[in-house]
């Protein structure tokens, strides 16, 4: 369970990182829209796990690797933006947020189940 302090700081990080990716995201991943879906911060606020969602990309693993390769540059830009709000700029680690893929998978399963039920109902009649 995250404390209020962690949640508040995570919100600030999410907002500022979103602005960075909106303005300069094309330098890291051209023709790809990056969304920061979630930020988790350690209790000492020194480490941040940033979950990203990608639109218009074929390989999300490669995209995350590319963003992680630029993490020190992104951290520097983040530090310039939050220098008056935080004492320490957290170390950033980026991960793929596969929630959308999971939702699509579950939708397909539910569709399959409903089709099977319709077929068994039609056979019973």
User: pLDDT tens digits for 66-82?
Assistant: 999 999 999 999 999 99
State the helix-helix crossing angle for 71-82 and 60-69, rounded to 10 degrees: 60
Report the percent of the chain where pLDDT is more than 70.
98
pLDDT, averaged across the chain: 89
CA distance 107 to 115: 12
Q: Which domains does the chain have, with CATH numbers?
A: 4-98 (3.30.300.20)
What is the pTM (predicted TM-score) of this model?
A: 0.79
pLDDT tens column, 70-115: 999 999 999 999 999 888 999 999 999 887 778 888 888 988 888 8
CA distance 125 to 54: 46
């Amino acid at each position: 369970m995250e404390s209020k302090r962690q949640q508040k700081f995570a919100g600030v990080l999410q907002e500022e990182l979103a602005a960075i990716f909106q303005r300069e995201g094309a330098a890291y991943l051209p023709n790809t829209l990056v969304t920061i879906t979630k930020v988790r911060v350690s209790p000492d606020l020194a480490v941040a796990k940033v979950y990203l969602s990608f639109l218009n990309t074929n390989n999300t693993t490669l995209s995350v690797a590319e963003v992680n390769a630029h993490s020190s540059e992104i951290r520097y830009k983040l530090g310039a933006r939050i220098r008056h709000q935080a004492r320490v700029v957290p170390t950033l680690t980026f991960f793929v947020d596969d929630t959308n893929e999971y939702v699509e998978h579950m939708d397909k399963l539910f569709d399959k189940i409903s089709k099977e039920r319709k077929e068994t109902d039609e056979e019973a009649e």
